[in-house]
Amino acid sequence: MNFGPRKLHVIQGEHAVSTDQDAILTTVLGSCVAACMHDPQAGVGGMNHFLLPEDTGGSAVGDESMRYGAYAMEMLINDLMKLGARRERLQAKLFGGARLFDTLGDIGAANAAFARRFLELEGIAVTGGSLGGLSARRIEFWPASGRARQRAVEQAPDVMRPPVRPTAPSAGGVELF
């Protein structure tokens, strides 16, 4: 009996791998980056979702380490290899790295640059994806086939938006709206 595709949502600091033909890994990204890796010969793939490029202070421990790209990439690759993938056959698609807020700097660009650099140093081919821009995106990845789909998220979720505080115009001032 087939109940259709099984979706697994990958949140910040997580990763998932699978050989299941019916599995779909999903995530929503803003400035975070997700690497979707696939070994076409082994029919195995996986996705990670990281928040920051590297832990330069060396203070992250345990589950907190998965927030960082270096750790998230290594964990994903290692778990893919446990399911039969070979490093030299891995292909990657990178998504995310948007600049959602001018006030927070461009952490998205730093995440994207880190992911590209990491994969280049590891000799893993980047075969697709979408990095940068100004909008959040929803990603679906079929790990057994390596297929990926991106959909734009028109408006960032409220939890990602800084609060807007209205200000009263001063007497004789100019009101901008």
Q: Which residues are catalytic?
A: 32
Tell me how far apart the alpha carbons of residues 85 and 145 are, in angstroms, rounded to a whole number. 13
What is the gyration radius of the CA atoms in the chain, in angstroms?
A: 19
